[in-house]
Amino acid sequence: MKSGIVDVTFGRDVTVIEPANLYGCEIGADCFIGPFVEIQKGAKIGANTRVQSHSFICELVTIGTHCFIGHGVMFINDRFDAGGPAFEDKDAWLPTVLGDHVSVGSNATLLPVKICDHAVIGAGAVVAGDILEPGIYAGNPAKLLRPLDP
Amino acid sequence: MKSGIVDVTFGRDVTVIEPANLYGCEIGADCFIGPFVEIQKGAKIGANTRVQSHSFICELVTIGTHCFIGHGVMFINDRFDAGGPAFEDKDAWLPTVLGDHVSVGSNATLLPVKICDHAVIGAGAVVAGDILEPGIYAGNPAKLLRPLDP
Amino acid sequence: MKSGIVDVTFGRDVTVIEPANLYGCEIGADCFIGPFVEIQKGAKIGANTRVQSHSFICELVTIGTHCFIGHGVMFINDRFDAGGPAFEDKDAWLPTVLGDHVSVGSNATLLPVKICDHAVIGAGAVVAGDILEPGIYAGNPAKLLRPLDP
């Protein structure tokens, strides 16, 4: 099978650099999607958000407006809570919700979490828990480095 | 040069999402290989295993059956033991062997190691040593979080 | 838009595995560039350097000769110092300079830093500060594991 752009709902003036594998997702106006990106069905990306090269956005992810998703960022919807992948048992999958103006550094990894508006995730961080106040978070697992006044 | 699928031995009912760069490797029956994946010559992947998008599987890697390799997972066969890459001195390369039912989280990195059946590697983990009992391992370097009863 | 090779200055005998997204950069003689790689405008790569699959090299990065950039390595030119991406305010971007014979392990992430000749960065490391003496560095953030006698 070939990668491609299938059943995607685009806002106006979206740029996608191919090859990309986008299917069944919603991408808001004025978004930029870099090369070598996969976005799965049901994912929603708000207007004016950038998704840089090599990133993967899975089912059950919702991203707000004016967000920046760096290069090589991986979202996850399965915590392997039963000791391995839930596979087609989608009741075991969990959602991720990013607010607006969220920035995620390159090579960061996001377990299923909530992240509030104006949070900044450092490069290479592994985010395993919710982030509920604006600030800069980094490390594995990610911890607050310093709060931000939004 | 172009990526492609060259000299690959496939079992029946394998799905590959292209573009992919697969050469000289063996991929068992009912495997799924996501987009933007590279698998090098000599690598062997057992039946019913999934390799998700953006992953890289190098020479000297053997993966069992019913494994799950997440997105952006990187395998390594050279520990830079001499203070840098061994390049074409393949005597200095080391094998990696994964048992059956092994799950590797997204953005994990695996140095040359042995991993037993039913081990779970967390997202973003860096695995630098052998994993010999079933359990959930995470962090950089990866450590046992909790044992699993297989 | 399509990925491709646009306005790139190549030395002799360079190998590029496509698909790749290379634009406005300089790549020295005898380099190897693996598949699913992006290299942005203004980046310079010295002769005899290998850039493996899935890596991203951004504007303001200079890499010396005989370097090895592993798989899934992400360079960064923006520290989010103002609490988020600088976007088009390029005065806020910072350069990265790698010397010669530098080796960077797979899935490593490099903030804007200087790295001296003969340094070795471990797989999965996050390099947040300058590296000024030859040695092996690993972890998040990367720390000296042991010095090397170059």
Query: Which subunits sit against B, judged by 3+ Cβ pairs under 8 A?
Result: A, C
H or E segment to which residue C27 belongs = strand C26-27
Coil/strand/helix, residue A61:
strand
Instruction: List pLDDT tens digits, range B31-46.
Output: 999 999 999 999 999 9
Instruction: Tell me the HSE value of A88 on the side-chain side, using a 13 A CA sphere.
Output: 0
Nearest residue of chain B to residue C103 (CA atoms): B84
- Whole-model pTM: value is 0.97
pLDDT at C68 over 70: yes
Please give, rounded to a whole number of angstroms, the shortest distance from the CA of C120 to a CA of chain B. Answer: 6
Could C106 and B38 be called an inter-chain contact, meaning their C-beta atoms sit closer than 8 Å?
A: no
H or E segment to which residue A34 belongs = none
Could C76 and A105 be called an inter-chain contact, meaning their C-beta atoms sit closer than 8 Å?
A: yes
The closest of B33, B87, A83, A106 to C108, measured between CA atoms, is A106
ipTM of the complex in this document: 0.96
pLDDT at B137 over 70: yes
Nearest to C107 among B84, B85, B109 (CB): B109
Query: What domains can you pick out in chain A, each with its CATH number?
Result: 5-147 (2.160.10.10)
Q: What is the average per-residue pLDDT within A120-149? A: 96
Instruction: List pLDDT tens digits, range B43-85.
Output: 999 999 999 999 999 999 999 999 999 999 999 999 998 888 9
Contacts of A21 in chain B (CB under 8 A): 17, 35-36, 53
Strand pairing class (A143-147; A135-138): antiparallel
Chain A residues at the C interface, defined by Cβ less than 8 Å, are 15-19, 34-36, 50, 52-54, 68, 70-72, 101, 103, 105-107, 118, 120, 122-124, 136, 139-140, 148
Alpha-carbon distance B39 to C58, whole Å? 25
As a whole number, the mean pLDDT across chain B is 96
Q: What is the pLDDT of residue C150?
A: 65
The closest of B108, B101, B105 to B127, measured between CA atoms, is B108
